[in-house]
Amino acid sequence: MTGKLMAKTGFWMLGCLGLATALGPNVANAAPYYFSSINGGTVANQQIAENDLFFELSQSGLDVVFKFQNSGSAANIAQIYFDLTGPLFTGTFSLGTDSGDGVEFAPGATPSNLPSGEPIDFTADYATGATPPPAHNGIDNPGEFLNVILANKLLADVENALVSFALLVGIHAISFPNGDSMALVNNPNPGQAEAVVPVPAALPLLLGGLGGLAWLARRNNRKSQKAV
C-alpha cells in the first residue's frame, strides 16, 4: 500500500471513529444525579431516598437517555416528572426500555404534577408513572431501571440545563419502611449528594449564591410565560 493510500485510509478510519463516538450510545456523564427531598419525611427516609435513588445520563445517537435506578430496596420510584423552562430549554420526551419483569411504566402519572412541587414552581411538562400496582411495577430493587428519552439533544446541553435549573427532574418515591411517600427533585450536579433545592424555608439563604440567582431567573422566566 502506498504512503498516500495509507494516509487516506487512516483519515477515513479516524473520521468513522469520530462519527461513531459522536453518535454512539456510550457517551455518558461521569457520575449519577441524586435527589433531595422537598416535602420532609423522616430523617431515615430522606437518607434512604437521597442515597439510593438516582439517574444517569448518556448520549444515544441524536438523543439523551435518562436511566432511572435504585441501589437499594427500601424505597420505590413510582412516578417521574420533568419540568422544562422554555424558551430556555424545550424538548420532547418518550419512554425507552426498562429492566423487564417488575418494572412497567406508562405515559402520564397520577398525580399529574410532582406532589408538593408548587412552592418551588415545579410544573410537569412530561410525566410517567408505574402501572398499577405501583408498589410492584415501580423501580424498587437494585438492577431495575427505566430509560426515558429526550429527543434531539446533546448531553452537554442537558447537563447545562440541569445546572441552571432550566430543567428539573422530580420523582415520587413510595413504599418506605413506615409506609410514607416522598417527593424529590434532582441535585443539579452529578455526584452531588447534599440538598441544594431551594425549598421555601431555605430559599433566603440560597439567594445569595449563584444557585439562588439561577433559581430566581428560572422563576421569573416561568412567571413571564404564565403572563403571556
pLDDT-derived band at 29, boundaries 50, 70, 90: low
If you average pLDDT over every residue of the chain, what do you get? 81
d(CA 80, CA 133): 16
Q: Taking 90 as the threshold, does the pLDDT of residue 4 lie above it?
A: no
pLDDT of residue 21: 41
Give the residue-averaged pLDDT of 193-198: 56
d(CA 155, CA 202): 30
Q: Which fold has domain 26-227?
A: Immunoglobulin-like (2.60.40)
Q: Taking 50 as the threshold, does the pLDDT of residue 69 lie above it?
A: yes
Give the residue-averaged pLDDT of 102-108: 97
pLDDT-derived band at 118, boundaries 50, 70, 90: confident
Q: Taking 80 as the threshold, does the pLDDT of residue 5 lie above it?
A: no
Cα→Cα distances 170→63, 128, 129, 187, 193, Å: 20, 11, 12, 10, 15
d(CA 65, CA 94): 10
Q: Taking 80 as the threshold, does the pLDDT of residue 15 lie above it?
A: no
pLDDT of residue 86: 73
pLDDT of residue 216: 56
| Annotated domain spans of the chain | 26-227
| Cα atoms found within 13 Å of the Cα of residue 185, Cβ hemisphere only | 28
pLDDT of residue 87: 72
pLDDT of residue 23: 46
Q: How many CB atoms lie within 10 A of CB 86?
A: 12
Give the residue-averaged pLDDT of 86-114: 93
Prediction pTM value: 0.80
Residue pLDDT, tens place only, 30-50: 689 999 999 878 999 999 999
